[in-house]
Amino acid sequence: MSKETNVDTGVQENEPALLDSESNSSELPERALWSRKIEYLLSLFGYSVGLGNIWRFPYLCMRNGGGAFLIPFFICLIFCAVPLYLLEVSLGQFTGKSPVIVWSICPLFKGLGWLMMTISFIITWYYNLVMSWVIYYFVHAFFPKIPWSTCDNWWNTDHCIVSHKDRLTLNKTADGVNQSFAGLLANESTISYKYNTTYVNRSLTYNTAAYEFWEFNVLRSSKGIEELGSVQWHLVLVLLASWVLTFCCLIKGVRSLGKVVYVTVILPYILLTVILIRGLTLDGSTDGILFYIKPDFSKVFNFQVCNNVQFKRKHIHEANCVYSALVRGSSHWARLMISMKPSTYIVKFMTP
């Protein structure tokens, strides 16, 4: 019995040595841990749900056959994204190391850690800009009169309309005027053709108030890449506010982030529920539901759908794998885990 006990103890003591090849010499300080298990779980839930679930995923479903898109999506999600998700979470929990150091278990994969950090850096760079747009809209939503609901603002053009219904009415009116003039000028076909072409082209230039608020108030972009334009200070300020909020959330690492996730994770689910209820009350909601219930199965076997670059990376993007955050967040929970058997098996399998 004593020999077996010594052998088991020796194995347990040697397991961490697989990952201490680079960390022992540097004598890194003790890694901070999540205060509660619920904070760690909320961070994982929040990392898997974002703006893409609201504006990207519905678009892909509509473009690729409605509910039929969910069939290949869930197949790739189960057989590709979920195992990769489990691998990253397990590595972080087992090792308690950052994404750069964790791959010391296999020297061949050391470059993956730096690549994951590079991807995370690029995403953080542009995602904070997207969040600055959200902040800009959020602030304007508290105005007494919502600026993207009217056409009497300084940035609106003469071709501004409030909604798409007004555009349909204008197009129908233009068609009626064109037909009446075509009848009056039947003998002058050339003049009639030129007038109709000009009028129809002008009718297609009408933009909604929401579109003009986005183009001429938020972006204020130049006419092309050859014109640099001026610095948009309103976007600079909200971008600075976005980075300040990010800094405040991470000022104390996982200890401050663990308190923030109570709001940033629970609130989006509440908003998604509100959006769902609001969407069900709109005109045409029944058609949208039927589009999912009665999908176009012919697109399931369409090579273009399966070969779509956005589709191939969508299940990975939904699970938010390979961005280093799963490994990094799980590494702060390592010492509080009771059982690490799945992680141990994975690490042993990858260790030469």
Whether the model pTM is above 0.75: no
- Per-residue confidence (pLDDT) for residue 22, from 0 to 100: 45
Mean pLDDT across the chain: 75
Question: How far is C-alpha 172 from the chain's CA centre?
Answer: 38
Q: Which stretches of the chain are DSSP H helices? A: 2-14, 23-26, 37-48, 52-55, 57-63, 70-76, 82-95, 99-102, 110-140, 164-184, 189-203, 209-213, 233-249, 254-264, 266-280, 285-293, 303-306, 309-319, 325-331, 341-350
Return the pLDDT at 210: 92
Per-residue pLDDT tens for 169-192? 555 554 544 444 444 444 444 443
Residue 123 confidence (pLDDT)? 86
CA atoms within 13 A on the CB side of 253: 11
Confidence (pLDDT) at 307? 58
Q: For residue 294, what are the contacts with CB-CB under 8 A and spacing of at least 6?
A: 66, 67
Residue 95 has pLDDT above 70, yes or no: yes
Report residue 260 as tokens. 């923030």
Sign of dihedral through CA atoms 253, 258, 264, 265?
positive
| Residue 206 confidence class, pLDDT cut points 50, 70, 90 | confident
- pLDDT confidence of residue 96: 87
